A and B are shown apart, each in its own frame.
Chain A
Amino acid sequence: MHGLYSKRQPCVLPDVSEELNHPTPAARTTLANHARWTGHRFPITTAESFSNRVCYAARVAAGSLPDPQAPRHTALVRVTHWITVIAFFALLISGAEIIVSHPRFYWGEVGNVLTPPLFTLPIPASRGTVPTAYNYVMPDQNGWSRYLHFQAAWALVFTGMVYGIASLLNGHFRRNLVPAPGDRSWRAFWNVIAKYLRRAPPDEVEAHSYNVMQRTAYLGVIFVLFPLIIWTGLALSPAFDSAFPLAVAALGGRQSARTLHFFVSGFLVLFLVVHVAMVVLSGFTSRMRSMITGHAPVRAAARPVVGPVVTEEVDHT
């Protein structure tokens, strides 16, 4: 299952008991480094938790040990992620059903079966008035599809608002999604691509933080594709357009908005396919578990084997 990880050798950890009892400036630096790599902020309020963290940080520095306590994904990220998944699939299925009633796309303000299409999907239609290459008409599923499409759109928008506002306030965007200053280069991108191509196992930093390609992809979905799919969708509402005519005029007209809505949903599906493929390649079970429970399982190879055990019972006085 963890084929990529099985090549890793168990690491030998240094004895950090001295640092446990007497945190040194060096240990503090290690801790700070760890926080920077992983994005984990440790509330250092007691000597106890500090020592635990120092012990852990030293292990991370020496032997790549993930923090089994710190959640990989916060509850907010996990809950909004899965609501988004449900809403997205509802939108995808109902959207496909709606297209089946008229699988022709146009550009500009108007378009119907008497005007030339921009392109036509090679599928049968659910309406007899639409000319297709097929001599049968699919069952009409538009009613519930439309109800579901708009209900799921509301769910997605509310979820997105909660996620977006919370992530602005708690620093999730800034800390976990905006590429780190050192990663804002084509070279950083290329390094990640090269690593993927080599099928190298993710390093410790990557196991606990997104790499620059992931960050760019997620930011693109959150700040480009989702706003675009909402905009092009709203532009298809005649009542919304009556109040905000620029929403549809800026897209080139109603039929252009519909065609763009279709293309943007295509990009979202492309993201979904790559996203799921990457989850499968990097360890389906562990990634799913971390997005459900919040905790990535500690890999067998990286479990604490030597050195003082990190527990709350350690005496620090």
Chain B
Amino acid sequence: MKPISRRKLITTGIAATAGLAGVTVAGHLARRYGLVPPDCGGIYGPGETLTYAAQRLLTTHSLAREFPRSMISKSPFANATPPANDLFKRHQANGFSDWKLAVDGMVLHPTSFSLADLRTFPTHSQITEVACEEGWSYIAEWIGTPLINVLNTVGLLPQARYVAYFSIDKDWWESIDMADALHPQTLLTTGMNDGDLPVGFGGPLRLRVPRQLGYKSVKYITRLTVTDSMKSFGKGLGSAEPEFGYSWYAGI
């Protein structure tokens, strides 16, 4: 073993100090520019933060791939059975006529929208792919109004950083950052393939987030909450998924 020279020792010391300072500064900058996901803690935090930061730097404004009508899947896969709770069954029994979407949190005018109210917004349709984290996928046409229309109507407060959204199924809630919430393809979906959105695919109301994996497109949503921090929601990891061990950001 060669003895370490003084020059080498000093060089290494300076490099280590500079590296540490660099990481600290990078951390501060990342926080300021919203590059740190709510599930940034734990042993997988560094990788998750790198992924989210890289996506926010590269893909904040990009549009999810859209497909020609001919590529719409003949056999889309619903994956899950509808919620078994009584509340949902009652809604289903009367044709979802009383279904409401409550929008609250950091907004000027907290409002509750019926499905009929939502249909008065400008309609948009997109033919995008649902990709499940398991590996399978299908393409469908999704019809509804971009979330940004509803957010503009209720009026976002400037502190808004996340939109949390909740299913009638208590175990399923998610959140997205403003980049995705204000994205033109993030769609409050009420129709699919020229018809009403079937229950199996999230009907009557599903939030489609086509730049992320399927589990971010929560089915049966009843509430949107605009917030500046996800700390007070559940375990503070951003959504229900990290509590089951899955990452909050699912754009990969």
Binding site for B on A (CB under 8 A): 98-99, 101-102, 104, 106, 109-115, 127, 129-130, 142-144, 146-148, 150-155, 236-243, 245, 248, 254-255, 258
Closest to A127 in B: B134
Q: Point out the residue from A150, A238, A245 that lies within 8 Å of B213, measured CB to CB.
A: A238
Q: Is the CB of B51 within 8 A of A242?
A: no
Q: Point out the residue from B44, B55, B246 that lies within 8 Å of A151, measured CB to CB.
A: B44
Per-residue interface assignment for chain B, residues 214 to 230, with 1 indicating a CB less than 8 Å from any chain A CB and 0 otherwise: 00000000000000000
Per-residue interface assignment for chain B, residues 103 to 146, with 1 indicating a CB less than 8 Å from any chain A CB and 0 otherwise: 00000000000000000000000000101111111110000000
Q: Is the CB of B44 within 8 A of A147?
A: yes
Q: Point out the residue from A102, A109, A148, A255 that lies within 8 Å of B44, measured CB to CB.
A: A148
Q: Is the CB of B135 within 8 A of A242?
A: no
Please report the C-alpha to C-alpha distance between residue A130 and residue B135 in the assembled complex, in whole angstroms.
Answer: 11
Q: Is the CB of A239 within 8 A of B47?
A: no
B38 adjacent to chain A (CB < 8 Å): no
Q: Is the CB of A147 within 8 A of B251?
A: no
Q: Give every chain A residue within 8 A of B51 (Cβ-Cβ).
A: 150, 154
CB-CB nearest 7 A-B residue pairs? A143-B245, A151-B47, A239-B251, A147-B44, A237-B252, A112-B136, A114-B75
B170 adjacent to chain A (CB < 8 Å): no
Please report the C-alpha to C-alpha distance between residue A252 and residue B31 in the assembled complex, in whole angstroms.
Answer: 38
Q: Is the CB of A113 within 8 A of B77?
A: yes
Interface centre among A101, A148, A152, A239 (most CB of B within 10 A): A239
Please report the C-alpha to C-alpha distance between residue A112 and residue B244 in the assembled complex, in whole angstroms.
Answer: 24
Please report the C-alpha to C-alpha distance between residue A240 and residue B212 in the assembled complex, in whole angstroms.
Answer: 10
Question: Helix, strand, loop or mixed for chain B's interface?
Answer: loop
Contact of A111 with B136 at beta-carbon distance under 8 Å, contacts A150-B48, A237-B251, A238-B210 already known: yes
B50 adjacent to chain A (CB < 8 Å): yes
Please report the C-alpha to C-alpha distance between residue A101 and residue B213 in the assembled complex, in whole angstroms.
Answer: 15
Q: Is the CB of B137 within 8 A of A146?
A: no
B152 adjacent to chain A (CB < 8 Å): no
Please report the C-alpha to C-alpha distance between residue A113 and residue B231 in the assembled complex, in whole angstroms.
Answer: 37
Please report the C-alpha to C-alpha distance between residue A255 and residue B135 in the assembled complex, in whole angstroms.
Answer: 8
Size of interface on B: residues with Cβ below 8 Å to A: 42
Q: Point out the residue from A112, A144, A237, A240 that lies within 8 Å of B77, measured CB to CB.
A: A112
Closest to A242 in B: B62
Closest to B213 in A: A238
Q: Point out the residue from B136, B210, B211, B246 that lies within 8 Å of A143, measured CB to CB.
A: B246
User: Which parts of B7-63 form the interface with A (CB within 8 Å)?
Assistant: 43-44, 46-48, 50-51, 55, 58-59, 62-63
Q: Is the CB of B64 within 8 A of A242?
A: yes
Q: Point out the residue from A98, A109, A151, A242 that lies within 8 Å of B67, measured CB to CB.
A: A109
Q: Give every chain B residue within 8 A of A153 (Cβ-Cβ).
A: 47
Number of A-B contacts (CB under 8 A): 126
Q: Is the CB of B137 within 8 A of A243?
A: no
Closest to A99 in B: B135
Q: Is the CB of A150 within 8 A of B252?
A: yes
Q: Is the CB of B48 within 8 A of A147?
A: yes
Closest to A100 in B: B134
Per-residue interface assignment for chain B, residues 174 to 210, with 1 indicating a CB less than 8 Å from any chain A CB and 0 otherwise: 0000000000000000000000000000000000001
**Distance (Å) between the CB of B131 and the closest chain A CB?**
6
Please report the C-alpha to C-alpha distance between residue A258 and residue B131 in the assembled complex, in whole angstroms.
Answer: 11
Q: Is the CB of A144 within 8 A of B245?
A: yes
Q: Is the CB of A236 within 8 A of B137?
A: no
Please report the C-alpha to C-alpha distance between residue A142 and residue B134 in the assembled complex, in whole angstroms.
Answer: 8
Please report the C-alpha to C-alpha distance between residue A245 and residue B62 in the assembled complex, in whole angstroms.
Answer: 10
B79 adjacent to chain A (CB < 8 Å): yes
Q: Is the CB of B129 within 8 A of A254?
A: yes
12 more A-B residue pairs beyond the given contacts A114-B77, A115-B75, with a C-beta to C-beta distance below 8 A:
A106-B136, A127-B134, A237-B55, A238-B210, A239-B55, A239-B212, A239-B252, A240-B252, A242-B63, A243-B58, A243-B59, A248-B65
Please report the C-alpha to C-alpha distance between residue A254 and residue B46 in the assembled complex, in whole angstroms.
Answer: 27
B167 adjacent to chain A (CB < 8 Å): no
B71 adjacent to chain A (CB < 8 Å): yes
B247 adjacent to chain A (CB < 8 Å): yes
Q: Give every chain A residue within 8 A of B159 (Cβ-Cβ).
A: none
Closest to A98 in B: B135
Q: Give every chain B residue within 8 A of A142 (Cβ-Cβ).
A: 133-134, 245-246
Contact of A255 with B133 at beta-carbon distance under 8 Å, contacts A142-B246, A243-B58 already known: no
14 A-B pairs with C-beta separation under 8 A: A101-B135, A102-B134, A102-B135, A102-B136, A112-B77, A147-B245, A150-B47, A150-B51, A150-B252, A237-B252, A238-B131, A239-B62, A239-B252, A242-B64
